Chains A and B, each alone.
Chain A
């Protein structure tokens, strides 16, 4: 590794931690970002000749904090602010050099940052954007691309969110025990949104945005490491790993969708599956109520253990969906439950479930519902109705590979 590569590696590894600690010391997101940039610039200038310091993280934090103090001295005539920063600076000296407590102190700061970015007083769009920007360190451009909004719009969203944190005094802290569970739910919702947007994009030319899946899993690992032994966190990480394991098998070389039943299971990532399976079991052993994430992970685990579609334990999957429906009665889960039921009791009974779901107005234009309904009708040899259902699904689908798959089914029916 060259000296430059070594420095890049340190910057990549330490960027998140250094920022989290600087936000606490400086009490402001923008100042902390500026300070981190200054610290990295100083490192680029000094490390090649002076050598990489023994504790680069502490060096970067203390350089950043010093630069921020200089900056405020230059800018501010407001006396109180300088005093505050000088106090922060003394505190930083005391903390930054306590090497033994390093990991714990920096870990706490990262957790503070995550909870602040995922604070329920921010809109969920803002929570996701802030987390990707501040915790994962994605550029504003990368975040805006992932969510298909203009860079300017995304930049505005981030500015507004940071302004609200400052002006409304959203605390930079890990919530007290009585609020912790609820706030963890919020953090997990953000991570899961990032993952699902990566795993099944809402629209566009590609089925997946792998970078978002990677970020979500990285966040899941981080939160799981910082708050070990929490069943919901463990369950979500397991769920993401077991789904992500199918990544290479889900899309053909031509970019077409391959359904679970047709996937070449040899392409599934066995390392992710092994880790996911162990986490599901750990999550089920942990005290506390069962999390919906864990139940979903348990369903993915049944698929992961089966060598093919026919040897899948569908009865167990139906049972798990019934548990899940009690915890989280949503249309998507009802639909998945119906698919599992069709494998156990046949398409006729499953179709009744889907029709009852479709009768409720709130899911009328959910394209997967028509895909599922179409497949049941086809299995029941009600071809004309199946075609109509696929036609409706096609009108609503927004992702190109999915549209091609549905169009292929219609063409198949037409070919007789």
Chain B
């Protein structure tokens, strides 16, 4: 089964990080990603640019409406994701718990529908 691990964190805190802390964090993510690649669990994963660069698109009655930013103000913002393969929710949770961001933000674990057909 594939799971999407959505990494939420307080963006303001991340932005305020000093250069050294940022390097350390990047290093931790690199290590973690290497680990799940070696374990055969990694399918994809990326860091997202800040919410200030986001646009939201809706199509209503055939008209496209575009607004700035995400649709809701929340304390934590989506900052990145991993797509992993795991044999059960427990395995997905144990991967999620090792994501460096889990220590200060939170990780949402979502099972993915198998492709239709």
Residues of A near any B CB (own CB < 8 A): 119, 121, 167-171, 173, 175, 179
Bound CA span A119–B90, Å: 9
Instruction: Determine if B89 is an interface residue (Cβ-Cβ < 8 Å).
Output: yes
Bound CA span A119–B109, Å: 15
B window 91-115: CB within 8 A of A: 93, 109, 111
Given the known inter-chain contacts A169-B88, A170-B88, A171-B88, please indicate yes or no for A121 contacting B93, CB distance below 8 A.
yes
Residues of A within 8 A of B90 (CB): 170-171, 175, 179
Bound CA span A387–B7, Å: 54
CB nearest neighbor in B for A167: B111
Going nearest first, the 7 A-B pairs with the smallest beta carbon separation are A171-B88, A168-B111, A168-B89, A169-B1, A170-B89, A169-B88, A169-B89
CB nearest neighbor in B for A175: B90
Residues of B within 8 A of A171 (CB): 87-90
Query: 23 interchain pairs (CB within 8 A)?
Result: A119-B89, A121-B89, A121-B93, A167-B111, A168-B89, A168-B109, A168-B111, A169-B1, A169-B86, A169-B87, A169-B88, A169-B89, A169-B111, A170-B88, A170-B89, A170-B90, A171-B87, A171-B88, A171-B89, A171-B90, A173-B88, A175-B90, A179-B90
- Chain A residues touching B, majority SS: loop
CB nearest neighbor in B for A172: B88
Bound CA span A169–B88, Å: 5
Bound CA span A246–B1, Å: 50
- Chain B residues touching A, majority SS: mixed
Residues of A within 8 A of B88 (CB): 169-171, 173
Bound CA span A383–B64, Å: 72
A81 CB to closest chain B CB, in angstroms?
Answer: 13
CB nearest neighbor in A for B88: A171
Residues of B within 8 A of A170 (CB): 88-90
Residues of B within 8 A of A167 (CB): 111
B85 CB to closest chain A CB, in angstroms?
Answer: 11
B window 65-98: CB within 8 A of A: 86-90, 93
Tell which of B88, B90, B111 has the most Cβ of chain A within 10 Å.
Answer: B90
CB nearest neighbor in B for A171: B88
Residues of A within 8 A of B109 (CB): 168
B94 CB to closest chain A CB, in angstroms?
Answer: 8
Residues of B within 8 A of A169 (CB): 1, 86-89, 111
Residues of A within 8 A of B1 (CB): 169
Residues of B within 8 A of A173 (CB): 88
Residues of A within 8 A of B86 (CB): 169
5 new A-B contacts at CB < 8 Å, known A167-B111, A168-B111, A169-B1: A168-B89, A168-B109, A170-B90, A171-B88, A179-B90
B110 CB to closest chain A CB, in angstroms?
Answer: 8
B108 CB to closest chain A CB, in angstroms?
Answer: 12
Bound CA span A168–B86, Å: 11
A77 CB to closest chain B CB, in angstroms?
Answer: 14
Residues of A within 8 A of B93 (CB): 121
B115 CB to closest chain A CB, in angstroms?
Answer: 14
Residues of B within 8 A of A179 (CB): 90
Bound CA span A170–B86, Å: 11
Bound CA span A121–B90, Å: 9
A161 CB to closest chain B CB, in angstroms?
Answer: 13
Bound CA span A171–B1, Å: 12
CB nearest neighbor in A for B86: A169
Bound CA span A171–B90, Å: 7
Bound CA span A169–B92, Å: 10
Residues of B within 8 A of A119 (CB): 89
B103 CB to closest chain A CB, in angstroms?
Answer: 18
Bound CA span A241–B89, Å: 35
Tell which of A121, A169, A170 has the most Cβ of chain B within 10 Å.
Answer: A169
A123 CB to closest chain B CB, in angstroms?
Answer: 15
A3 CB to closest chain B CB, in angstroms?
Answer: 44
B97 CB to closest chain A CB, in angstroms?
Answer: 11
CB nearest neighbor in B for A170: B89
A60 CB to closest chain B CB, in angstroms?
Answer: 28
Bound CA span A170–B1, Å: 11
Bound CA span A170–B87, Å: 10
Residues of A within 8 A of B87 (CB): 169, 171
Bound CA span A101–B88, Å: 27
B73 CB to closest chain A CB, in angstroms?
Answer: 26
Residues of B within 8 A of A168 (CB): 89, 109, 111
Bound CA span A94–B114, Å: 32
CB nearest neighbor in B for A166: B111
Bound CA span A179–B88, Å: 14
A237 CB to closest chain B CB, in angstroms?
Answer: 27
Bound CA span A121–B111, Å: 12
CB nearest neighbor in B for A121: B89
Bound CA span A304–B111, Å: 50
